[in-house]
Every structure is written in C-alpha cells, then in structure tokens.
C-alpha cells in the first residue's frame, strides 16, 4: 500500500532579525500543536526592504512590506506568511485570510535617547528620528519645537545611527517596544511612551499569520493559536483605519483593549506637522466576540469624522502622507 506523503509547509518571511524571530516564534507554537510538522522557511525580499534611501511616504504603496509575500501565497509558493500586523493594510487580496491573532506584545512606542533623557527633557529643537507620519504628528503635537527627520533600516541599523552618530545627528529615535523586546534590546529603552502622548499604529505588537482561505489544513493548525481578546482589539483598530480610508503611512493611531467585560478604545488623527489633532475615546461591553471590536472601531471612526478627521486626512493625502495600496 502506497504511503501518504507528509506535507511540508513553506513559511515565508522577510529576512530581518526581527522578522525571523517572529517567524520562529510562530513555528514553535505550531510545533506545539503538532510535533511532527515538516516546515521549511523561505526568505522573501519586499519592496520596503529593497528601497532604503527614500522616505516611506514617497514609495506610495501601502503594501510595501507585505506585497511580495502575499503574491507568493497566491501563487502557491509558500503556505503561510508571517507579518507584523501593523504593516498590513486594513483589507486583504481575495483568497487570503488572517484567521487568528496569536496574542499581543506591548503595543506602545519606545523612546531611545542620548543620555537617557525623557521626551520632556530633550533639549530645545531636539532631532528625533522616525519615518512614521503617525509618530511625527504626535511628537510635534506634544512639542512643536522638535525637528523630526526620516530614519530607515532595521532595528540594529536605527539604533546604531543614534549611538554612533550620523549626518542627521539624532538626539533620540522612536521604535516599537515589541520589536525591541523580541530582540532582547528592551533594556536600552529610555521610556515607554504613554498612550495619551503616542497612540500606536493599528495592530502594533501583534503578529499576522496569513494563509490561503481554502487551505483547510493550515487553517486547522492555526485555529488553536488564537487569542480572542487580542483579535477583537486589533480587528477593531484596523476597522477604524479602514473607515477613515488611511494606510500604513498615515498620521493615524488607534489602540483597543479588552479589560474584563469591557472593551475600550482610543484613537488619534493629526496633521503631519501636529498643528491639528483629533483624539477620541469610547468604551463598550465585551461579549467575547470579534464583532464587539469591529463595532467599537466603527464608532471611533464615526466620532473622529464628526470632529473633522476627513479634512485633516484629505490635506495629508494632498501632501503625500496617505499612501494607497497598488
């Protein structure tokens, strides 16, 4: 009798240290579900990896860190792609799905500064490195004297530019706390920025395992990894982004959190220079279902739009700060 061939699952990932850490973390959890899994890792270079000498906004493609991975999935070259959820647009190509959210790390942004100075204590006109329009807008809303300059590269590259110096001579940089923690560099954080000062990108701190919607075996493997509370929160955040019509490089922040039987949400929309700011907060009951997060995301978006978010984002779009997926 012919023996059934064991399937080898091919997992696609970007090649950075952080992307590989995230992929290996997910593989460990999949093997905890099924120890005999045959897995092959394939590194795929994305447009965002190739283009390092231009600001993210100028690339004008909201899928620049995920597009090639998604194309590999659709062609059947890989069976699973592991993304940082914050890098994904709020919608997906037909035939692909993110079925689970396997927990969530710290969603806050982190300040790393020379001499361990806090955001408040940085010198007048301090130079802060970030390529995020969201971070820049909130930094300038907090302190209009800051000079915010682009900063590209992986975590190690960005930290080196601060520590060893560069043409920009940064006084501080802003990075996601989750990435630093995952790379065992959390001890180098000067301060974790509180949400009233810096709301994160929708989905920040969460991983997004993406697969084909008709891959029943992969969907079954992933199903036991889901954290319903984390999933409701990040789906609500992406819903907020979707209703506003923004992309990954948009001056928009959002954070939802399940606390007992309640789900709370905070959101931010600002002009690129921080001169116009909208902040909204809401809370509702948590019934353990995904729809509660989606509904709160819609309500936050409606409230922000009532207060003028569309006009702010239209102006940002005209100035190249709202990217559209190609």
Cα 223-228-229 angle, rounded to 5 deg:
155
Specify which residues 43 forms β-bridges with: 13
CA-based nearest residue to 235, from 84, 91, 61, 118: 91
Q: Which of 98-112, 164-178, 244-258 has the lowest mean pLDDT?
A: 244-258
Question: Has 87 been annotated as catalytic?
Answer: yes
- Would the pLDDT of 140 be above 50? yes
Under the banding of pLDDT at 50, 70 and 90, the label for residue 246 is low
pLDDT of amino acid 304: 97
Report pLDDT digits (tens) over 280-308.
999 999 999 999 999 999 999 999 999 99
Domains and CATH numbers, the chain: 8-105+202-318 (3.40.190.10), 109-192 (3.40.190.10)
Query: pLDDT, tens digit, for every residue of 3-33?
Result: 457 889 999 999 999 999 999 999 999 999 9
pTM of the predicted model as reported, rounded to 2 decimal places: 0.90
Nearest to 299 by CA among 254, 261, 258, 259: 254
Quickly state the pLDDT bin for 45 (edges 50, 70, 90): confident
Q: Check 62, 79, 87, 109 and give the catalytic one.
A: 87
């Amino acid at each position: 009798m012919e023996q059934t061939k064991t399937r080898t699952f091919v997992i696609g990932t970007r090649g950075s240290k952080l992307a590989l850490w995230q992929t290996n973390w997910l593989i460990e959890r999949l093997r905890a579900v099924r120890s005999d899994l045959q897995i092959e890792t394939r590194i795929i270079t994305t447009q965002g990896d190739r283009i390092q000498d231009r600001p993210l906004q100028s690339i004008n493609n909201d899928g620049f860190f995920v597009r090639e991975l998604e194309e590999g999935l659709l062609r059947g070259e890989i069976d699973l792609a592991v993304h940082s959820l914050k890098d994904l647009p709020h919608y997906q190509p037909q035939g692909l799905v993110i079925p689970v959210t396997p927990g969530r790390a710290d969603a806050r942004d982190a300040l790393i500064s020379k001499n361990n100075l806090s955001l408040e204590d940085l010198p007048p006109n301090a130079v802060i490195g970030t390529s995020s329009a969201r971070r820049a807008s909130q930094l300038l809303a907090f302190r209009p004297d800051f000079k915010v300059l682009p900063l590209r590269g992986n975590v190690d590259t960005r930290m080196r530019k601060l520590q060893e110096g560069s043409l920009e001579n940064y006084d501080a940089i802003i990075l996601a706390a989750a990435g630093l923690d995952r790379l065992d560099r959390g001890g180098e954080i000067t301060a974790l920025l509180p949400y009233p000062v810096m709301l994160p990108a929708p989905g920040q701190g969460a991983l997004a395992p993406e697969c084909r919607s008709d891959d029943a075996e992969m969907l079954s493997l992933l199903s036991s990894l889901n954290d319903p509370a984390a999933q409701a929160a990040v789906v609500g955040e992406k819903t907020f982004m979707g209703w506003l019509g923004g992309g990954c490089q948009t001056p928009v922040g959002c954070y939802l959190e399940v606390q007992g039987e309640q789900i709370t949400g905070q959101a931010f929309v600002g002009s690129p220079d921080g001169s116009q700011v909208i902040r909204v907060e809401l809370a509702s009951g948590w019934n353990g279902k995904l729809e509660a997060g989606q509904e709160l995301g819609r309500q936050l978006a409606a409230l922000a739009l009532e207060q003028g978010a569309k006009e702010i984002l239209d102006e940002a779009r005209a100035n190249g700060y709202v990217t559209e997926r190609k």
